[in-house]
Chains A and B, each alone.
Chain A
Amino acid sequence: MMIWIAFALLTALAALSVLVPMARARKETVSPAANDAEVYRAQLHEVERDLERGLIDAEQAEGARTEIARRLIAAGRAGSSQESGEAKGETSLRFARLAAIAMLPLAAVGLYLELGSPDIPDQPLAARIAAADANTDINLLVAQVERHLAENPQDGRGWEVLAPVYMRLGRTTDAVNAYRSAIRLLGSDARRETDFGEALTIANQGLVSAEARVAFEKAVAADPKAAKPRFFLAIALGQEGKTQEAIAAWQALLADAEGNEPWVEVALSELKKIGGEPPAAASAPGPSVEDVEAAGAMSDEERAQMIGEMVARLDERLARDGGSAEEWMRLIRAYQVLGEKDKTAASVKRAAAALRDDPAASEALRSLAQEIGVPL
């Protein structure tokens, strides 16, 4: 509404700038020759003044005066010959008024409606960012963080937060830069290197570049059991045409898998594509699809029994072959959930013994033990 009032005001001003002078002007005409005469008279004065100041001598002044007088007489003659300035008809005036009152607003509003967008308000960036929390426009939140980082480019945490958001928005090149900054500022670790490599690979349409390879290798060096970097490294081997090495890498990766990880399927199909056989352990490592479906149809006792059997299978495997810290902790949690206190305490002890050489795992185990109230 406000905007239309503003438009109306402007239009009224414009119309008045035409109407008011027309109403106030005198209804007479001035002969153009009279203007000329005025100029010539002023020129005569000028000659006198120049003469007084000694800029021209008497002869020059005389010459100029003669010249101007000649023009002045000519102007007078022209003026008298066309001395018939009768005011002209009112029709043209009426047209001019009509133009100001009717055409001006109609044409302006008509044209504006064709071109303009009266219902779009101003959207200054600062106000939009301030309002961003309310309507959670992800792009604006990103803009907000970007602003912060433009001012504090040394804020590694900021880059780390921003990077995965870029990935989700599909701005992979920005994500690569963000991860690179995060690693530069916060230092290298397995997860950051893995994410960095992944971003590089996606930005590169799935091709694992040399830079990405280096990142994944760093990640594996920091955490030899980490699945994701090994997954990408296996892909890289395949892309480089080192089929035998790729098969070995896939098999090693699948051997360590539990089977329910989202990437296992991809890994199996990749392996099959390059002609490798899946390792035996990968075939039934965890609860199979049938197991879970069966569990859904069972009564509570039956289900408890089935879960108990599954836990027992895991227990048995860990006792026989050993396993990763994650597997040990899953076992501990399982016993805890089932309410078997003795077995929980026992599995904590066994895990502590098995993971003795891995300080990070021992630390994780200690905190888990504390959490469930079992002395280590």
Chain B
Amino acid sequence: MIVEIGHYALVLAFVLSLVQSVVPVYGALKADNRLMATAAPVSGMLFLLVGLSFAALTAAYLSSDFSVVNVFENSHSAKPLVYKISGVWGNHEGSMLLWVLILVFFGSLVAAFGRNIPDVLKAATLGVQAWITAAFLAFILATSNPFLRLLPAPAEGQDLNPILQDLGLAIHPPLLYLGYVGFSITFAFAVAALILGRLDAAWARWVRPWALLAWLFLTLGISMGSYWAYYELGWGGWWFWDPVENASFMPWLAGTALLHSALVMEKRSALKIWTVLLAILTFSLSLLGTFLVRSGVLTSVHAFATDPARGVFILAILCVFIGGSLALYAWRAPALKQGGIFAPVSREGALVLNNLLLTAACVAVFVGTLYPLALEALANDKISVGPPFFNLTFGPIMVPLLMVVPFGQFLAWKRGDLLAVAQRLWAAFAVAIGAVLVVAWSQGVEHVLAALGIGLAFWVIAGSLSEILSRARFRDVGLATGIRRLAGLPRSAWGTVLGHAGLGVSVLGIVAATAFQTEAIRTLKPGETMTISGYDLTFRGIAPRRGPNYVEDVAHLEVRHGGTLVSELDPAKRVYPARQQPTTESAIATYGFSQLYLSVGEVRNDGGVDMRAYYKPLVTLIWLGTLVMAAGGVVSLSDRRLRVGAPKSGRAQPVPAE
């Protein structure tokens, strides 16, 4: 009965979302309070129904109810409990249900926390959100229904896919979806504004926190996916420019741009129309990502063509929403009032530059991801666009962006003084130059590019910190008052500093781990030792071990640094007999921010084992930096103040010394 209640709740949610698509939007257009009042309660109800449905599916997984086709195909009674739960979204149907669950979750959040949002805007926004909900519920019910039944029920499930039995992967998709789908709210806000023909102060006030929330989850989701690939895939890479990764990275780039332009709009009423466009584009890229991952088009365009029902459905959703919203934009945007003028050299100007660079970077990734697909579909040529393409396009766009980040923080609103800012950044510049010199001196001139990269990272970190230090005015007011001023700064200022400094930390990790990584591949027999970056790895032997549903050969190594034992590593090769699928379990030891990464390969007949070891200096900073960025997001989100940018009046400008 539980399963069928879940199924009915899903159907009911679909019909209710159709009601929600029409009633509040119509009410908003006619300014009818009674119709608009339905928006918030119905959003809550939709969340309840989809939540019930998801809970019912989870219950079916937990009790191994193999009369449900989806459970039969994707679960097994011998799975550990955690993976029975994560198995719910480890397959196509369940993950789409999770997608919709998060969609209605965000809708209900707006309904619950958006008391201050003007009724008209809230009603229209929730109505637009319901369009997306209805479209995806229709998709689930028509092509990917997880509640279809099977009689007689089989005695055992089919799947124990070992790759999916990983805690990282259990958490990764929900986080990523929270980010992807979170941008549906900013999209709904944007479309609502276009429909209502009003882009007012309240709009800007309410879009920014939602964009920030979505961005926060997406940052964590991408970072986590990257770390998972790093430790699970067994060859030490942390970013592959894989289409699936790019699919989540593109909304992140656009979302970061949106975050910054929403800031301009909130504080200065400028860049309104551009912000709306970015909100539409960001969610469109999320939809595109969903399409790429869910339609199977990535595995092969032709495989997609042979079983096209799902892909075509998502493609139709994609076309309707992206095409429709852009058409609406083209029609209504000219009618929107432009606000706030500013000089090219100003905080606004810097943020425009930021937006341009981020958008250009996004386009580069977009081309690199979709060009091979288009080529395969049209010319039947299979090419792969690898890291070289992205390094040559994405990299050069990122360098100027990183260079201007500290300037943006210092520039005043409306009109700024570049020279004065440059003077205040001299300390950060000195730190950066110092870092370049130290690296170049210690690593040799052949690493000059890496030295410059590290200098850039220090520039971003020091630059963002010096902004907040200069605001504390230690030199003028003394230490005690300075600290008090520092603590009194608005949390949004701290958020900015953390966000930018986190970016610098990640860049530092990326440059160091890429340029100074060392690698050693050896075949070791028990008792033999290999050396990498001053660490001696002694192979002590390899032994079989039995896990709950796998068998593995575990190698045991001792790591010595300068003769003292610093850690023991146990990399393994696992085989899951149910699937005859081997996996590599690499072993990682962390020293400070650096890591020693070890994985085992073939076991030779003479007892030798292939070992692949990497020493990755500062590699953990890549992910720690994203955590700092996310922390900045949290801090900024906790700042509920209304914001306004205070411009400096023209006559008060400090005159630069000639």
Tell me the A residues contacting B by CB distance below 8 Å.
2-3, 6-7, 10-11, 13-14, 17-18, 20-30, 32-33, 35-36, 38-40, 42-43, 46-47, 50, 53-56, 59-64, 67-68, 71, 75, 85, 87-88, 92-93, 96, 99-100, 103-104, 107-108, 111-112, 115-118, 120-128, 137, 139-140, 142-143, 146-147, 150
Which residue of chain B lies nearest to A29 when distances are taken between CB atoms in the complex?
B31
Within residues 40 to 58 of chain B, which ones have a CB less than 8 A from any CB in chain A? 40-42, 44-45, 48-49, 52
Q: Is the CB of B201 within 8 A of A111?
A: no
Which residue of chain B lies nearest to A14 when distances are taken between CB atoms in the complex?
B16
- With contacts A117-B149, A142-B155 known, is A24 near B37, CB below 8 A? yes
Asked if B611 is at the interface (CB within 8 A of a chain A CB), the reply is no
Residue from A10, A29, A121 in contact with B1 in the complex, judged by beta carbons closer than 8 Å: A121
Q: Is the CB of B38 within 8 A of A54?
A: no
Q: Please tell me which stretch of B62-70, B98-106, B427-435, B525-533 contacts chain A, meaning at least 4 of its Cβ atoms lie within 8 angstroms of it.
A: B62-70
Q: Which residues of A contact B44 (CB under 8 A)?
A: 17
- With contacts A7-B8, A10-B8, A40-B201 known, is A56 near B646, CB below 8 A? yes
Residue from B7, B16, B45, B642 in contact with A43 in the complex, judged by beta carbons closer than 8 Å: B642
Give the top 4 A-B pairs by smallest Cβ distance, nearest first: A124-B63, A25-B37, A125-B64, A35-B118
Q: Is the CB of B151 within 8 A of A120?
A: yes
Q: Is the CB of A30 within 8 A of B5?
A: no
Q: Mark B475-496, 1 if CB is under 8 A from A, else 0.
A: 0000000000100111000000
Residue from A36, A117, A137 in contact with B4 in the complex, judged by beta carbons closer than 8 Å: A117
A-B contact pairs, 9 of them (CB 8 A): A3-B5, A13-B48, A36-B201, A92-B32, A104-B16, A107-B18, A115-B7, A120-B149, A147-B78
Q: Is the CB of B49 within 8 A of A125?
A: no
Which residue of chain B lies nearest to A104 when distances are taken between CB atoms in the complex?
B15
> Bound complex: CA of A364 vs CA of B480, how far in Å?
102
Instruction: Give chain B's interface residue range (CB within 8 Å of chain A).
Output: 35 or more
Which residue of chain B lies nearest to A118 when distances are taken between CB atoms in the complex?
B4
Q: Please tell me which stretch of B179-187, B444-452, B647-655 contacts chain A, meaning at least 4 of its Cβ atoms lie within 8 angstroms of it.
A: B647-655
Q: Which residues of A contact B121 (CB under 8 A)?
A: 32, 35
B437 to chain A: closest CB distance in Å? 37
> Bound complex: CA of A36 vs CA of B60, how far in Å?
49
> Bound complex: CA of A120 vs CA of B1, how far in Å?
8
Q: Is the CB of A120 within 8 A of B652?
A: no
Q: Mark B1-22, 1 if CB is under 8 A from A, else 0.
A: 1111101110110111011001
Residue from B1, B30, B649 in contact with A92 in the complex, judged by beta carbons closer than 8 Å: B30
A55 to chain B: closest CB distance in Å? 7
> Bound complex: CA of A85 vs CA of B119, how far in Å?
14
- With contacts A59-B649, A64-B646, A67-B644 known, is A21 near B63, CB below 8 A? no
Q: Is the CB of B30 within 8 A of A111?
A: no
Q: Which residues of A contact B148 (CB under 8 A)?
A: 115
> Bound complex: CA of A43 vs CA of B52, how far in Å?
41
> Bound complex: CA of A103 vs CA of B44, how far in Å?
20
> Bound complex: CA of A46 vs CA of B642, how far in Å?
7
Which residue of chain B lies nearest to A137 when distances are taken between CB atoms in the complex?
B155
Asked if B623 is at the interface (CB within 8 A of a chain A CB), the reply is no
Q: Which residues of B contact A10 (CB under 8 A)?
A: 5, 8-9, 12, 49, 52
Q: Is the CB of B490 within 8 A of A55?
A: yes
- With contacts A25-B37, A35-B118, A64-B646 known, is A115 near B12, CB below 8 A? no
- With contacts A32-B200, A39-B202 known, is A112 near B649, CB below 8 A? no
Asked if B615 is at the interface (CB within 8 A of a chain A CB), the reply is no
B514 to chain A: closest CB distance in Å? 40
> Bound complex: CA of A124 vs CA of B40, how far in Å?
37
> Bound complex: CA of A18 vs CA of B27, how far in Å?
13
Q: Is the CB of A126 within 8 A of B63?
A: yes
Asked if B260 is at the interface (CB within 8 A of a chain A CB), the reply is no
Residue from B18, B31, B201 in contact with A88 in the complex, judged by beta carbons closer than 8 Å: B31
